[in-house]
Amino acid sequence: MLTKHNYNPDVLTCIANLSSDEVFTPPQLANQILDLLPGELWSEKEATFLDPACKSGVFLREIAKRLDIGLEKQIPDRQERMNHIFKTQLFGLAITELTALLSRRSVYCSKTANGKYSICETFVNPEGNIRFGRVEHNWQNGRCVFCGANQERYERGEEMETHAYRFIHTGKPEEIFNMRFDVIIGNPPYQLSDGGFGRSASPIYNRFVRQAKKLNPRYLTMIIPSRWFAGGKGLNDFRAEMLGDDRIRKIVDFEDATEVFPGVDIAGGICYFLWDRDSRGPCEVVNMHNGTESVSTRRLDEFQTFIRYSQAVPIIRKVLAKKEENMSEQVSSRKPFGLPTNARPLKRGDIALRWQNGEGPYSRKEINTGIDMIDKWKVITSYVGYDHAGNPGKDGKRRVFSKIDILPPGTICTETYLVVGSCEDETQARNLVDYMKTRIFRFLVGQFMYSHHITKDAYSLVPILDMKKQWTDEKLYKRYGLTKGEIAFIESKIRQIESSDE
């Protein structure tokens, strides 16, 4: 039976995750997210709630507890109140057959909604309002038109899950329940393998957020990876939409996902947000790290990426106020010389190829990209950053770059590396290396680090300076007029590169 108080033990606090992409929400976290919603909702007997990605049923269960208390005066009889809440207010779509059974057990206290021990007496069907039905992908040119899943990987027989989630595999989500919802809440699946190289995967949580907005609820709140802050694979349009939506009234961001999902490694961290259909304005941003929070209220679209740290905003404003060109204009794209990671040196050649494990000869005539850089001094850095999954170390600091090196004229590289700049002489190249090693340079790049990779776009906040000069942090702090507090913040986030780290 439902009670007014949390009970212990709660099986949902210790249930194992299906994978790092389909993570169960701990009850404590579910309640933190529910706390974003206005308290008067729990006394509205007509309010309706939808979880479009039920896994354990924890959101619906915790909502039911709140409604049980909030509707007590309006519906004094406990059983009548239970019947009303479960039959008319709570709805869910499970992501698999297994999670449908688990969710019904959590919400109705019975694996079937009309079972002997169900807390609701009025259901005649076994699924109640928590639905699951097998859905097939809609294949076109090897991809699902709804979610982008790879046909070769996800076209399966009936004995396996398709991972074609019902909520996003329709152009008319309003027809699933044929009703409007006041609140849409959940923790959607995060990604699907896209059949690319290695363990390549494409985000899918953004599709749940967009689909939920189509239903135009009063409130929308979901917990999703923070990778959308900087865009990237399949997320650039979504980032632009989110940053430009002034109905997002609050974002709570955890740089380290293990603070909310113990033992789960999610590159770039995790966040949850509140979208309020009828309220517009600046967003309250709460950044959490090691149990400490920093809070600010600001427009989300001030910069092209979402700036995670409130303390970083005035620093970036000062740097951009100089109106200098930014380094993303000179940093190469992936495959700076058109060669993939698996390219290897040849038996003979008139230039040298730097690859992941060394150098060897290569033929100049085989190169069709980056030809103008071949005979210049080039500063390179690894495409993969130093910090695991883009996350800081236990001390809260990042190194950012895993390797910085100089390629002399006549040397090229595979896509393992990006060319940060090409220079006319060795002195300029060494000055660029020194510039990259400054804390402020790496701090600005770090604002884009929400995954393993450091792309060309990550240099968008870094100014292009005269490489005939040697730059140090002290000179840069003075150039941009940073205060002692701002300098201290940068140095609390970025490690010093020691000569022994070379």
Q: What residues contact 224, with CB distance under 8 A and at least 6 apart? A: 187, 188, 190, 205, 206, 209, 270, 271, 272, 273
Residue 397 clears pLDDT 90, i.e. is over it: no
Q: How far apart are CA 186 and CA 204, in angstroms?
A: 14
What confidence tier does 380 reach under pLDDT thresholds 50, 70, 90? very high
User: Which of 19-23, 93-97, 145-149, 227-231 is the least confident region?
Assistant: 19-23
| Spatial CA neighbour of 246 closest among 287, 299, 297 | 299
Alpha helices in 262-405 (DSSP H): 312-320
359: tokens are: 């150098």
Q: Is the dihedral of CA 311, 313, 315, 318 positive or negative?
A: negative
Number of H helices, E strands in the chain: 12, 19
Assign 323 a pLDDT band (cuts: 50, 70, 90). very high
149, 165 Cβ separation under 8 angstroms: no
Residue 378 binned pLDDT confidence (cut-offs 50, 70, 90): very high
Q: Domains (ranges, CATH) in the chain? A: 11-133+165-292 (3.40.50.150), 327-501 (no CATH)
Model pLDDT, residue 83? 96
Q: Express as a percent the part of the chain with pLDDT over 70.
A: 92
pLDDT of residue 182: 98
Q: How far is 203 from 451, CA to CA, in rounded Å?
A: 12
Q: What is the structure's pLDDT at 159?
A: 76
Read off the pLDDT of each residue in 118-134 and give the average, rounded to a whole number.
93
- pLDDT at res. 7: 43
Label residue 266 by pLDDT band (50, 70, 90): confident
Give the pairing of strands 49-54 and 90-94.
Answer: parallel
pLDDT at site 501 = 53
Lowest mean pLDDT among 56-60, 253-257, 271-275, 282-286: 253-257
Q: Residue 5 — very low, low, confident or very high, per pLDDT cuts 50/70/90?
A: very low
pTM of the predicted structure, to 2 decimals: 0.84
- In DSSP terms, 382 is beta-bridged to 417
User: Is pLDDT of 282 > 90?
Assistant: yes
- Would you place residue 388 in the very low, low, confident or very high pLDDT band (cuts 50, 70, 90)? low
**Do residues 411 and 345 touch, judged by C-beta distance below 8 A?**
no
Nearest to 351 by CA among 364, 339, 367: 364
Average pLDDT estimate for 90-119: 93
Please tell me the predicted confidence (pLDDT) of residue 195: 52
| 88 has a pLDDT exceeding 90 | yes
Residue 473: its pLDDT value, please? 97
What pLDDT shows up at residue 317?
A: 95
The reported pLDDT for the residue numbered 398 is: 84
Helix (H) / strand (E) element for 211: namely helix 205-214
pLDDT at 396 over 80: no
pLDDT level of residue 24 (50, 70, 90 thresholds):
confident
Supply the pLDDT for residue 2. 45
The predicted pLDDT at position 191 comes to: 87
Which range among 15-19, 132-136, 320-324, 453-457 shows the weakest confidence by mean pLDDT?
15-19
Q: What is the average per-residue pLDDT within 185-200?
A: 73
In the three-class reduction of DSSP (H, G, I as helix; E, B as strand; rest coil), residue 472 is classed as: coil
* pLDDT score for 11: 54
Average pLDDT, the chain: 89
What was the pLDDT predicted at 220? Answer: 98
Instruction: Return the DSSP state at 15.
Output: P
Identity of the highest mean pLDDT range in 229-243, 283-297, 468-482: 468-482
Closest CA to 280 of 249, 257, 306, 311: 249
Instruction: Please give the pLDDT value at position 290.
Output: 82
Q: Does pLDDT of 197 surpass 50? A: no
Q: What is the pLDDT of residues 341-364, one digit of tens each?
A: 999 999 999 999 999 989 999 999
Residue 500 has pLDDT above 70, yes or no: no
292-298 and 283-289: which strand pairing?
A: antiparallel
Give me the pLDDT at residue 183, please: 98
Which one, of 315, 270, 327, 307, lies nearest residue 448 by Cα? Answer: 307
pLDDT of residue 152: 87
Residue 8 has pLDDT above 50, yes or no: no
Which pLDDT value is given to residue 232?
A: 73
